[in-house]
């Protein structure tokens, strides 16, 4: 795996920073685990960039406006529009009238989108199981607990 080689330090090199240590496992989870699992189950159009959209919509079944999705994913409205268009073209999401403001639209998951959300969760659990074999289930659970604690402080 290329990441393992990248983590190795040369004499005199600084230790990897927290941002890098968070990013590298996530990228590996997506490229080596989740994306191939999705492709194998018929959801090959979905990439890691789509996951924040699907995650946010799965948490909000009535749908969200594109501006809310963009804020959640921390990307521009234009970029979110592109992602929503791509998910719509694949049958994963749809735009519908906002029940609180008929001039606006909300984005919500379709039946295929909900099925993809389930497949994504299963793929992530598969990666977690693989990592538990590598470093131990207790350490994976400890990592998740630490990250949950950190996220809770960031949401205040």
pLDDT tens, residue by residue, 116-149: 999 999 999 999 999 999 999 999 999 999 999 9
H helix or E strand, kind and range, residue 108: strand 101-109
pLDDT tens, residue by residue, 49-60: 999 999 999 999
In a domain? residue 144: yes
Number of domains in the chain: 1
In a domain? residue 41: yes
Which structural domain, as residue segments, surrounds residue 91?
A: 16-154
Q: What is the CATH number of the domain that holds 91?
A: 1.10.10.10
Q: Average pLDDT in the 25-42 region? A: 95
In a domain? residue 9: no
Selected residue with higher pLDDT from 3 and 119: 119
Tally of CB atoms within 10 A around 70: 21
Selected residue with higher pLDDT from 91 and 9: 91
pTM (2 decimals)? 0.83
């Amino acid at each position: 795996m290329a990441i393992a080689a990248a983590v190795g330090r040369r004499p005199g090199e600084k230790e990897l920073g927290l941002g890098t240590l968070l990013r590298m496992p996530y990228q590996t989870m997506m490229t080596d685990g989740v994306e191939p699992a999705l492709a194998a189950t018929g959801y090959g159009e979905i990439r890691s960039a789509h996951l924040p959209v699907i995650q946010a919509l799965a948490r909000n079944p009535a749908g969200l406006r594109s501006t809310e999705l963009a804020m959640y994913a921390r990307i521009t409205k234009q970029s979110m529009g592109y992602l929503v268009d791509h998910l719509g073209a694949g049958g994963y999401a749809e735009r519908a009238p906002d029940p609180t403001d008929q001039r606006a639209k909300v984005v919500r998951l379709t039946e295929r989108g909900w099925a993809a959300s389930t497949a994504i969760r299963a793929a992530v659990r598969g990666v977690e199981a693989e990592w538990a074999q590598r470093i131990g289930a207790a350490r994976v659970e400890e990592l998740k607990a630490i990250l949950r604690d950190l996220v809770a402080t960031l949401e205040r």
